[in-house]
Structure 1
Amino acid sequence: MKTRPTLYVFSGLPGVGKSTLAKMLASYTNATYLSIDTIEQALRDLCSLNVQGEGYRLSYRVAKDNLQIGNSVIADSCNPIQLTRDEWQEVACSADAAFMNIEIICSNHKIHKQRVESRSSNIPNFALPSWQEVVDREYHEWKEDRVIIDTAKKSIDKSFFELNYYINNRNIG
């Protein structure tokens, strides 16, 4: 008997290590990986869209399709506002899947700034935000329960170990 699929929703500002951890979890669990950045850039490139919320809405549909056939899904996005957080949860509920909110943070602003300013994108044509754009980004406080991984002063392997610990020792909705 196959276990109930899970929607793991990664959230956090650019440059905190969210995509790296999301990809590691996708590989480790053999789950479907969905990157909002990749989807939104594809919509810009292929459809010449001025993307607002289309990337999220398209991702919800792809996630639901995968969850309904029993595949767990890793959703990688900033997920900065309550609306998108609620919509991801609705995707899981409508597919009768478990879900887990995972917020990745970097509590050390100096380290976070260095990461933002030194990284490069592996998504063709994707323009990474500047440090000022990250600082100015709308990002609502969380109301829901979630796993929080602080990547400041921690290796990516240690952060992933911590993430796995929380996943394996927590009730998933």
Structure 2
Amino acid sequence: MLIVLSGLPGTGKSTLARALARDLRAAHLRVDSVEAALLNAGLDRVTVEGYAALYAVAADQLSAGLPVIVDLVNPVTATREAWADVAARAGATLVNVEVTCTDPAEHRRRVETRHTAPDTHAGRWAPPTWADVQAAAHHYEPWTAPVLRLDTAHATPAELIGTLRARLPDAGTLP
């Protein structure tokens, strides 16, 4: 199974991805970690490289029989279709999850708090600012594929993981 958690920065994707990965004993692939490694290895800037690396690593993990949870913005149809292709080539079930935070004040608080927390920085990589998130929102395309939407504004991570777990295909057969 390939579970792709998509959404703007600061919505709670990583919190949910880490918890779900522990719960399902799945590989957790986070684009921010890959982009940080690429920047720290000497690239001047990162565009599609982080996503391309994750497609390959996810395919490897799926071919080893592991469930994979991907954590990234995934803002456009082209990247969403690429994840569908990764799942299809591996013979895996794809579950698209869009993570939102419909409380603008809470969303902004999360982004700004994360931005000031030194443990979220990795060398040359730093989390996006609130202005970056607002700019990204203008380029975030509507979903055309089936997607499960989770709003983190008024639910705990445990509640959201329960909701997601209940809606996963073959949820009864997972660990």
TM-score by length of 2: 0.88
Which residue number corresponds to residue 64 of structure 1?
Answer: 59
After superposition, give the CA deviation of every residue in 1:8-57 in whole Å (9 maximum; x if it has no partner).
01100011101100111111111111111100110111132421101101
1:8-157 alignment runs, 5 A limit: 8-119=3-114, 120=117, 121-125=119-123, 126-137=125-136, 138-157=139-158
Q: Is the 2:3–2:68 Cα contact (8 Å) retained in structure 1? A: yes
Q: Paired residues, what number?
A: 165
Q: CA deviation at 1:165?
A: 2.0
| More deviation, 46-55/87-96 | 46-55
| More deviation, 111-120/100-109 | 111-120
Residues of 1 paired with 2:44 and 2:66: CA distance? 30
Counterpart amino acid of 1:122? T
Q: In angstroms, what is the RMSD of aligned CA positions? A: 1.5
Q: CA deviation at 1:132?
A: 1.4
Q: Which ranges in structure 2 are unaligned for 5 or more consecutive residues?
A: none
Counterparts in 2 of 1:168 and 1:86: CA distance versus 1, 3 Å? closer
Residues of 2 paired with 1:123 and 1:21: CA distance? 19
Residues of 2 paired with 1:113 and 1:70: CA distance? 38
Residues of 2 paired with 1:7 and 1:123: CA distance? 27
Counterparts in 2 of 1:142 and 1:95: CA distance versus 1, 3 Å? same
Q: Which ranges in structure 1 are unaligned for 5 or more consecutive residues?
A: 1-5
Q: CA deviation at 1:123?
A: 4.7
Q: CA deviation at 1:101?
A: 0.2
SS at match of 2:120: coil
Residues of 2 paired with 1:55 and 1:108: CA distance? 29
Q: Is the 2:7–2:98 Cα contact (8 Å) retained in structure 1? A: yes
Q: Is the 1:38–1:123 Cα contact (8 Å) retained in structure 2? A: no
Q: Is the 1:32–1:71 Cα contact (8 Å) retained in structure 2? A: yes
Task: Report percent identity of matched pairs.
Answer: 37
Q: CA deviation at 1:149?
A: 0.5
* Structure number with higher helix proportion: 2
